[in-house]
Amino acid sequence: MDRFVVISGCSGGGKSTLLEELARRGFATVAEPGRRIVREETARGGTALPWIDPEAFARRAIAIALEDRAAAARHDGWVFFDRGLIDAAAALEYVTGEPALETYGRVHRYHARVFLTPPWPEIYAADAERRHDLAAALAEYARLLAAYSRLGYQTAILPKVPVAARADGLLRLLAETVDPPGR
């Protein structure tokens, strides 16, 4: 959908902070499926975690991303996704070799321009939900750049600037691409 905008990129690159800023400005936002899964699985002692069962984790992320898209259709105007279906499909394809990007990415489209946060080592931090190191984050970033390109998205790499300036730049680029939907 033209009004569904993905913010993807390197883990620890400031995506969630940017989504919080966009929500503060009144836009609809959708939280990252991966972090939600990690919280739920950890709370219940589950194993669909990227460091235990990455395939189950990716399949669950795909299911949640599809649910998120359906729920987001109720909102008017821009809806900003912290990662989403393409990221989950790329993860599944990486882990299993299945053509998940073809299966999901060509059918369930987002806005033509996707915004990526680049690697930002100065702010990167592992935590209880993000256990991988910066090297793994960099490898994932390279896979995501390739995945979005393969699906024909225009990628805009967000600058490493304070969050308000980052949000302003993102919104400016969106305004240049198409007329924004009503809010």
pLDDT band at 50 (very low <50, low <70, confident <90, very high): confident
The answer to whether 50 and 57 are in contact (CB under 8 A) is yes
Query: Cα angle at 10 between 8 and 15, to 5 degrees?
Result: 50
Range of the domain at 82: 4-175
- Per-residue model confidence as pLDDT tens digits over 90-148: 999 999 999 999 999 888 999 999 999 987 656 556 656 655 566 777 888 899 999 99
Give CA–CA dist 47/54, Å, rounded: 9
Give CA–CA dist 145/166, Å, rounded: 19
Total domain count, the chain: 1
Per-chain mean pLDDT for the chain: 88
Specify if 41 maps to a domain: yes
- In the predicted model, what is the mean pLDDT of residues 20-26? 97
Query: Considering only 60-64, 79-83, 118-122, 155-159, which range has the smallest mean pLDDT?
Result: 118-122
pTM over 0.95, yes/no: no
CATH code assigned at 134: 3.40.50.300
Please determine, for residue 5, whether its predicted confidence score (pLDDT) is greater than 90. Answer: yes
pLDDT of residue 183: 38
Specify if 112 maps to a domain: yes
- In the predicted model, what is the mean pLDDT of residues 63-90? 95
